Amino acid sequence: MVGACKPIETKFSAAVCVGIVLMCLSQVSTSLKPDDKLDGLQKLGHTLRKRSVGSETASDTEERSATSCPRGPTAGALAGVPGVPGVPGVPGVNGACGETGPTGATGAKGDMGVEGVPGQKGEAGLPGLDGLKGAKGEVGPPGENGDSGPTSIPLLASCDALKKAGFGVSGTYRIDPDGAGNGSEPFSVVCDMTSDLTVGYTTIHHDKEDGDVKGFEDRGSFIVNVTYDLGRGQVEAIKAVSSSCRQFIKYACIGSLFDGGYQYWISYDGQPMVNWGGVPTGTTGCACGVTATLPVSQLRFGDTGETGEKGVYTLGPLQCA
């Protein structure tokens, strides 16, 4: 605010000048009492004369500087009452602004602000990693004793032999048809213990139990090769200790000739067999139920090449007892 600053010397000088003028006016009013002034002259005459000589130069100077003041007896003015103080002069003009002061000291630390509003909830984080595998648990208490079953299954020659020995549950058993320590090693077979009351059937499955026949016209041109679960040596060993074997075979056809040599099967020894049944009434089994010819090694079909001609075959497992 430099512009607001004014030199103060001007105001001070004006105040002193006005004060001098008013003091002179008070001397005029005091001089209106001539008796007091005359008495003063008589009492102080001698002294006044002595001083007037020595101070003549000063008196002349006073007259020139205050020409507006009425001149009275010098002795009266010296004896008069002191005048009233003059009126203060007019304030002088503001002085020039001073130089910028040094930087003040750092103020004290302010109070702590108001607590802020809580922020919004953040997004869900990524799923955590899988935990570490837990430690191995303690060993549990021992279980209760089971029922007393057959302590051991005897190694017999066939399923029928096992059935006769009291094992009536169908399932997988180990047999040794040619005897322990003789011929082939023992092997596992499926035993059918329930399809007959007294007979246990050693059952040998294969890979062609059923299928469609279509698109082959010539006699026996549709060929189905049958592969059994047991090798030929094991099959022969089973047949050797069995009194008979059976295998279910069926062919259902539409628009296709069954007779005439179009459909036949190949025996285990490679002979074409056309006897699909035709057994006399009252005879169990079929004409093909001859141990020497079973099992079926191949199926042959034909007369299914024209529109509306088709067939379905079914071939069961070999069962011997």
CB of 166 to Ca ion, least distance (A): 22
- Of residues 312, 121, 304, the one with CA closest to residue 209: 312
Widest distance between CA atoms in the chain = 202
C-alpha distances in angstroms, 145 versus 139, 148, 149?
18, 9, 11
Orientation angle between helical segments 34-54 and 56-65, nearest 10 degrees: 120
User: Other CB atoms closer than 10 Å to residue 312's CB: what's the count?
Assistant: 14
Which is nearer to Ca ion, 61 or 188 (by Cβ)? 188
CB of 174 to Ca ion, least distance (A): 11
In the sheet that holds 201-204, the strands lie side by side as: 171-175, 187-192, 201-204, 318-320, 245-246
Which is nearer to Ca ion, 186 or 316 (by Cβ)? 186
Applying CB under 5 A, the residues found at the interface with Ca ion are 176, 178, 183-184
CB of 182 to Ca ion, least distance (A): 5
Which is nearer to Ca ion, 176 or 192 (by Cβ)? 176
Which is nearer to Ca ion, 21 or 240 (by Cβ)? 240
CB of 297 to Ca ion, least distance (A): 24
Omega within 30 of 0 (cis) for the link into 295 = yes
Residue 210, beta-bridge partner list: 314
Q: Are 233 and 215 in contact (CB under 8 A)?
A: no
Indicate the residue type of 106.
T
CB of 156 to Ca ion, least distance (A): 11
Q: Are 21 and 86 in contact (CB under 8 A)?
A: yes
Which is nearer to Ca ion, 174 or 219 (by Cβ)? 174
- 306 sits in the region (left: phi over 0; alpha: psi -120 to 50; else beta) called beta
CB of 185 to Ca ion, least distance (A): 6
